């Protein structure tokens, strides 16, 4: 099939925040390969739809469409793409009779998930990726920026003095297991809360004008409360931001320190320096992207073994004025 024969492309996004962010450069790549094509995407979750909102390379996002609706539009497309294997995506894409590309996550090794996706599609159409600018694409609007500015003003930010550091204290797995009675703040993908507290204490000694900004979802609220007890000037935005408001927040921070979470990947869609804390998961495949000098990964198979001093020194390096 010639490139000019592809007029409409259909795909289904992943469900989770980070996985959907990983896919965002693919839409830009598809537009480069098929500049005349319209690209429609099914989002099976509101979270995925929020990631894809306002993306200029996507023509329409269908949020949780019914199978009746899918069956009405299947004949409109020349190419269907399965970017992230799941039963729901398979059920939808099996309705299509046009050419179907199914991403094979095992086709490549020792590279980031986003590079795997880009290489898979480029290899399938013999496209040269050497000049493609690979980065995430998130598009907050003015209302998201205004909302974030309002939240910061409500917390009495002194724009001339305060230096804001973002913290994601929890992770997806910890948020799901917050009903546990014992070790309720412990998870293999979350740096111990006591370490975050010790880190912030040392940073405030180094520079008293530093203020913490907490991000996260509702079930991470207890973590935030414990942290705020130690640092009452903390700006606690847990469960207060949408994806694109979170993206807008990144432009107001000087540094983001985070576990392996979707927030990490939102931060990487900005120009913000990042410190990422990784335990059991493969940081080569899921770490900060694209790699840059101001994106530091700390890895230990047991996250608790990452030393506070090492993270403190990296944070000071990123926060210090140049020169």
pLDDT in tens, 170-205: 986 665 554 444 456 667 789 999 999 999 999 999
Rounded Cα–Cα distance for residues 33 and 81 (Å): 14
List pLDDT tens digits, range 71-128: 999 999 999 999 888 899 999 999 999 999 998 878 888 899 999 999 999 998 899 9
The single residue listed with the structure tokens 């926060």 is 319
Residue-level pLDDT at 262: 95
Q: Which domains does the chain have, with CATH numbers?
A: 3-124 (3.40.50.2000), 142-319 (3.40.50.2000)
Torsion of CA 147, 295, 55, 28, to 10 degrees: 170
Residue-level pLDDT at 322: 58
> What is the model's pTM?
0.92
Average pLDDT over residues 202-226: 96
List pLDDT tens digits, range 129-156: 999 999 999 999 999 999 999 999 999 9
With beta carbons less than 8 A apart as the criterion, state whether 58 and 306 touch. no
Rounded Cα–Cα distance for residues 237 and 140 (Å): 17
- Higher pLDDT pick, 172 / 225: 225
SS3 249: helix
Q: Is 156 left (phi over 0), alpha (psi -120 to 50) or beta?
A: left
Percent of the chain with pLDDT over 90: 83
Collect all residues with Cβ–Cβ distance below 8 Å to 188 and sequence separation of at least 6: 173, 279, 280, 302, 303
DSSP state of 205: H
With beta carbons less than 8 A apart as the criterion, state whether 113 and 22 touch. yes
Residue-level pLDDT at 174: 62
Give the number of other Cβ atoms within 10 Å of residue 91's Cβ. Answer: 12
List pLDDT tens digits, range 5-19: 899 999 999 999 999
Q: Residue 1: which pLDDT band, with cuts at 50, 70 and 90?
A: low
Residue-level pLDDT at 180: 47
In this predicted structure, the answer to whether residue 259 has a pLDDT above a threshold of 50 is yes
């Amino acid at each position: 099939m010639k490139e000019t024969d592809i007029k409409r492309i259909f795909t289904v996004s992943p469900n989770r925040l980070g996985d959907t962010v990983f896919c965002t450069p693919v839409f830009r790549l598809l537009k480069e390969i098929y500049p005349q094509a319209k690209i429609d995407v099914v989002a099976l979750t509101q979270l995925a739809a929020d990631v894809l909102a306002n993306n200029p390379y996507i023509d329409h996002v269908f949020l949780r469409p019914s199978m009746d609706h899918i069956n009405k539009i299947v004949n409109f497309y020349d190419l269907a793409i399965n970017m992230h294997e799941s039963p729901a995506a398979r059920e939808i894409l099996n309705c299509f009779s046009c050419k179907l590309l199914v991403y094979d996550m095992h086709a490549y090794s020792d590279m980031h998930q986003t590079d795997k996706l880009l290489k898979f599609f480029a290899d399938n159409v013999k496209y040269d990726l050497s000049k493609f600018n690979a980065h995430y694409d998130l598009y907050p609007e003015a209302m998201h920026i205004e909302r974030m500015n309002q939240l910061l003003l409500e917390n009495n930010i002194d724009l001339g003095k305060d230096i804001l550091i973002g913290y994601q204290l929890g992770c997806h797995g910890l948020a799901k297991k917050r009903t546990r009675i014992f070790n309720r703040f412990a998870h293999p993908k979350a740096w111990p809360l006591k370490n975050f507290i010790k880190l912030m204490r040392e940073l405030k000694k180094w520079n008293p004008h530093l203020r913490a900004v907490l991000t996260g979802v509702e079930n991470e609220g207890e973590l935030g409360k414990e942290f705020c007890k130690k640092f009452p000037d903390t700006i606690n935005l847990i469960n207060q931001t949408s994806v694109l408001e979170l993206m807008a927040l990144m432009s107001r921070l000087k540094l983001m320190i985070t576990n392996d979470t979707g927030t990490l990947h939102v931060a990487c869609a900005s120009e913000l320096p990042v410190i990422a804390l990784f335990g059991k998961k493969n940081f080569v495949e899921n770490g900060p992207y694209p790699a840059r000098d101001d994106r530091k990964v700390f890895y230990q198979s047991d996250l608790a073994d990452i030393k506070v001093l090492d993270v403190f020194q990296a944070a000071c390096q990123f926060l210090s004025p140049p020169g």
